[in-house]
Every structure is written in structure tokens, then in C-alpha cells.
Chain A
């Protein structure tokens, strides 16, 4: 589904990704772990097409197409979803309008008809329970005045509505208490299907108790220095990142 080959990316003059290669197949969950500043979040942002990062080398192929040639909205329309580490507040735009605009943009790109507000409301209300959120959040401004936990749940709620093929969760666990972490992880697990894939970017092993990965990769200094199965995460938890080869 996703093939990253020798990916290099910079922000300003600084090279952050220094040759990343990674393959993700349908139905798989990959965890990317690493210390602060290793480039984990940059990788997530580059995959989503954040304009602040410049790709200086390598390739990313998504379902046989050149992902890097696509605008951010085109990537989303083709099923890529980034759950933001810091979800953005947009005062003045209601959640429900935002979500319907996104949902319909994706449908339109597939040649499907748009849902009207009433149809859409029925559809999203059914998805709300997945992340244990109240319907009144739909009328509130996007993430405005939300607690840290609510923002993260809202990301997973958006994921539940948009049903991506490839979800990238960028430090979705940071700032969550254990209950919120469970809710978020349960949501992700319920959305898992044989034809979609998930990349979980995290600093801590904790989240991986709930979202169990098939593969774990350790990112240090912009490179993947070690890959393995889920047991690798436990080793990292026990010994820290100091022990991994630089």
C-alpha cells in the first residue's frame, strides 16, 4: 500500500529525514518510535503534505501513485489521514460543517453524490459513540475550547467519519490520561479492517498495549535504525533509546 524509499526532507536549512525506507501493507499496523527530535512527527507531516517541509530526495508510492506529487487535499481524498499531534482550533467553523465539507469533498473526488446536512447528521451521530463524544460537540467550533483529551478524541472521531485507508496517528497518546487513551485506542481498533493500514507514531510504549502493532521501527536522527515485531517496543520501554544503534 505504502512504499517509502530513501526519503529525505528538510525544514528551512535543516535536514530532518535522512533516508527513510519503509513498506506498509494492507491490514498492517506499524509503530514508529523514537526519542524527541528524531523526525517521527516530520515523517507524519511529510506524508500528509505539510508545505513547511521540503522533500529533498527519495520517493513515496501510495497505491502505485506518487504521493509526493499530490496536494494535501488530494492525499486525503485518496484515503490518507493524519491525526494531528496538535489539533488546530478553528473558532467560528462548526465541527459538523467542517466534517461534512471534508466528507463531501472526498465523496466528490470519487464521483459520488454529496450528503445533505440532514443525511450527514444521521451518519455522524452514529459514529460519535465510537469515541464516546456528545452530539453537542458537533455544533461547537472545531477544537475551540476543547481539552487536550477532547481534541485527540475529535481526531479519532474525524477518522471514524472519513474512514481512511491509511491512518497516521501522530503522538495521539501524548497528554491523554489512561481512560482517554483507552477510548482513543478502542476507536482505532474498531476502525481496523483488512484493507486499511495504520501508522502509529509515538514516544512511549504505553499506547501499544492497546493498539498492538505488527511491526515496530525505531527512528533516530532521521533514520530507521532498528525494526522488529511488537516485542521491540517492550525492549525500548525497558532499556530506553540509549541502547539502540545510532
Chain B
């Protein structure tokens, strides 16, 4: 059944016209092709040519113990979705401070904040996947951090897809509103139990109001046979800080879009990320930082490690509006290829329409440093371990930038596990 045949009007009255417009937009545009500049290195054919079955029910098979590997060692409030549906038995919110609200979307379409923000930042007109998500989203997480509220513990939103999900598609929709001068940390995880072929088409909308700080960790560890497209649209207020980290290791094909607009003076954006691929994996990050107000700063460091016949893509755009004077932007993307057949494409772009700005960018694609490799070997370390150490060291440089200590340790451990098989003392202070 094609996406168009799947379409049904559902939800409250305000939503119906939005969904109809979204599906119409998808009908008009179709899936993007490689002629589209933003999709030059990534083919959507495998997604477009599969007849995906919409998943509507959480599997009853998943037990709390199954989720342990994805908890990042955190004792954090969590909202768990299985096969796209909120699963209260696996969720644990505990006592959240103040008037913080952490809700499942399916049960709260009538909430004023949902009506106000659903579709407010993620325009479906320019992105077919966002259009599909808007037309079909049935569940997801809604997080509302009230003004002046400081949330100590990270809030973990966990989207799990299990082995019953073969040929299934979910459209998780996440909405995060961080009111003025609030401080919070949100982790959004996409993970698999089993190795089913399925398609996750996620959209996250985030508003970081004046003076607020939001640390946002996006972790994509889906099955190596899965397909993942995730778009995050952020809007930042005056003096706001949005710090994001994208950790992506999963999927046959994963496309991560991360867009922010610095809409008020004095805002700050940090976008860091690490992608690690092997086999025939394809992971594509597309980031855009839009400086729409003066005196804002953005920093971006993405690192990629490609092994076997995998293909990593980074396309980062920094766009400076004419009024965004005194913009301070720095963007870096470094890639290391571990095999002859691995491939990396990187395209950092600056588009500057203001005259008093300081913006730099740089990108590299290379192999492990021969001199460092010889140095390690000259101390008796075998060539395989030496390569592993250098690969980990390459990744560690960006992991070290994670502010939240527990999340940093968890992601360092995941990276170590992948390359070294443990050994926490490797991590330099």
C-alpha cells in the first residue's frame, strides 16, 4: 500500500487540514531524487520502492530488561515508545520538578501547546519526509519546560523498534518547548531490538526561548537493515543556547537533518556529532545554522569514521542573513577512512550576506596518521591495536566536547566497545 493509499484523516479538527495539505505536498513533490542538491550523495530509492506497512501498535514482547543496553547507564526520567507507540509499562517519569510536562502525543492532541507548535517549525512544503511525518504521525513525545525551571537530570525519549516490525514504518513526532531561562537536557534515542528491515521517519520540533539552554543529544543506533530519516527543526530566541550532539552508528541508510535558526541577538548554537559506519552503511548528516540576528555564535564539529564499503556524508551550511552582523561561526568536518573501499563526501558551505562577520570552515578526508601509527608500533603495540587506538583517539576528540558527564561517558563507552572492546582508562582527562 503506498503512502497516499494509507492516508486517513485522523485527530482533532485543527489537524485535519494540516494533514491533508501535507499529503498533498508529498503527492506533488514525491521523494527527492539525486538531482536535488541536498540529496546529491544519498539515494532515497530503497525507501521509495518499498511498500511500508504502517505500525500502529506497540509490541507486547519488549521487556524492561531488553532496554537496559540503551539506557546509557542513566537513572533518568524516560518516555519509551515501542514500534512508534507510547508504552507506559516501560516508561518511568518519576517526580519531575515544578510544572514540567512530559507527555505522549497520542493522548494529548487536544493540548494547546500541541496545537500551537505542531508543524510550527518543520515546514512540510520543502521536505517530502517531513510532509509524510506530518500526514501520518500518530504518536511521539511532548516535553514542556516552564520558564526559569532548571532540570538537573536528562529526560530520555527512547524510540524502540523490535523484530516484529518487518517492513514497518513509524513516524515519531517530538515536540520540545524550553521556555525562557530554563535549563534542560534531552536525549532522543532511536534503537532496535533485533535486525528487522523497517523505516523510521522522525520529525522533532524544538523551541528554545529567550535565555534558555537546551542540551539535545540525538542517538541513532538502529538495526543495520533499517532505514532512518530524522529531521530536527530548532528555533532559538535571544541569548538562548542550543547545544546538540548527534551520535549515529545505525541503519542501512540514515539521513539526519538538523536545522536551527538563531532568531534573537546573543544566541549560541553548538552542533557536534560523530558518525561511525561499517559494512555497506550509508549515513548522511545535513546541518544548517541560520544566523538571522546579530551577535550570535555557532560552533560545529562533526567527525566521521568509515570502514569497509560504507559511505559517510556531511553537508553543513552556515547561512548568515544581512542583518546578522558580528556573527561568529566556525565549522569543521573531519573524516577518516579505514579501508580502501570506504568513502566520505563532505561539503561545508558558508553563505554570508552580512559584511561584519567572522566565519570559518574546514573539512578533511584522510587515513590514519602513518607517523602516529609507527610511533605506537615502535613501542611494541601490534598494528591492529595501534589502528584501533588511533581510531578511538580520532573519535574521542569530539566526544570530549560533550558537557553532560554521564552522557559523555556513555557515548565514550559505546565508542570504545565498538573499537577496543572496553578499556575506560584509554580516555584521557
A positions within 8 Å CB-CB of B? 48-52, 71-73, 75-77, 81-82, 84, 87-88, 90-103, 105-106, 109, 117, 136, 139-141, 144, 158, 162
Q: B425 to A96, Cβ gap below 8 A?
A: yes
5 CB contacts below 8 A, A to B, read: A72-B378, A88-B372, A90-B375, A105-B380, A105-B385
Could you tell me which residues of chain B, from 367 to 390, have a CB within 8 Å of some CB in chain A? 369-372, 374-383, 385-386, 389-390
Q: With the chains together, A81 CA to B379 CA distance in Å?
A: 7
Contacting residues, chain A, for B374 (C-beta < 8 A): 48-51, 72
B positions within 8 Å CB-CB of A? 369-372, 374-383, 385-386, 389-390, 392-397, 400, 423, 425-429
Q: B378 to A94, Cβ gap below 8 A?
A: no
Contacting residues, chain B, for A50 (C-beta < 8 A): 374
Q: With the chains together, A75 CA to B379 CA distance in Å?
A: 9
Q: With the chains together, A48 CA to B378 CA distance in Å?
A: 6
Contacting residues, chain A, for B370 (C-beta < 8 A): 51-52
Q: Report, nearest first, the 4 A-B pairs whose CB atoms are least far apart.
A: A92-B393, A92-B396, A76-B380, A102-B379
B385's nearest neighbour on chain A, judged by CB, is: A101
Q: B380 to A141, Cβ gap below 8 A?
A: no
Q: A141 to B378, Cβ gap below 8 A?
A: no
Contacting residues, chain B, for A90 (C-beta < 8 A): 372, 375-376, 389-390, 393
Q: B383 to A73, Cβ gap below 8 A?
A: yes
Q: B381 to A102, Cβ gap below 8 A?
A: yes
Q: B371 to A88, Cβ gap below 8 A?
A: yes
Q: With the chains together, A48 CA to B426 CA distance in Å?
A: 25
Contacting residues, chain B, for A158 (C-beta < 8 A): 379
Q: B428 to A94, Cβ gap below 8 A?
A: yes
Contacting residues, chain A, for B379 (C-beta < 8 A): 73, 76, 81, 98-99, 102, 105, 158, 162
Q: A76: which of B377, B400, B427 is its contact (CB, 8 Å)?
A: B377
Q: A141 to B385, Cβ gap below 8 A?
A: no
Q: A91 to B385, Cβ gap below 8 A?
A: no
Contacting residues, chain B, for A82 (C-beta < 8 A): 378
Q: A93 to B392, Cβ gap below 8 A?
A: yes
Q: B378 to A97, Cβ gap below 8 A?
A: no
Q: How many whole Å from A93's CB to the nearest CB in chain B?
A: 5
Given contacts A72-B374, A87-B375, contact A94 B380 (CB under 8 A): no
Q: With the chains together, A215 CA to B298 CA distance in Å?
A: 60
Q: B377 to A73, Cβ gap below 8 A?
A: yes
Contacting residues, chain A, for B376 (C-beta < 8 A): 90, 98, 101-102
Q: How many whole Å from B253's CB to the nearest CB in chain A?
A: 29
Contacting residues, chain B, for A144 (C-beta < 8 A): 428
Q: How many whole Å from A42's CB to the nearest CB in chain B?
A: 14
Q: A71 to B393, Cβ gap below 8 A?
A: no
Q: B375: which of A51, A52, A84, A97 is its contact (CB, 8 Å)?
A: A84
Q: With the chains together, A143 CA to B181 CA distance in Å?
A: 41
| Extra 20 A-B pairs, beta carbons < 8 Å, given A49-B378, A72-B374 | A50-B374, A51-B374, A76-B379, A81-B379, A87-B375, A90-B372, A90-B376, A93-B393, A94-B425, A94-B428, A97-B389, A97-B425, A98-B376, A98-B379, A105-B381, A140-B428, A141-B428, A144-B428, A158-B379, A162-B379
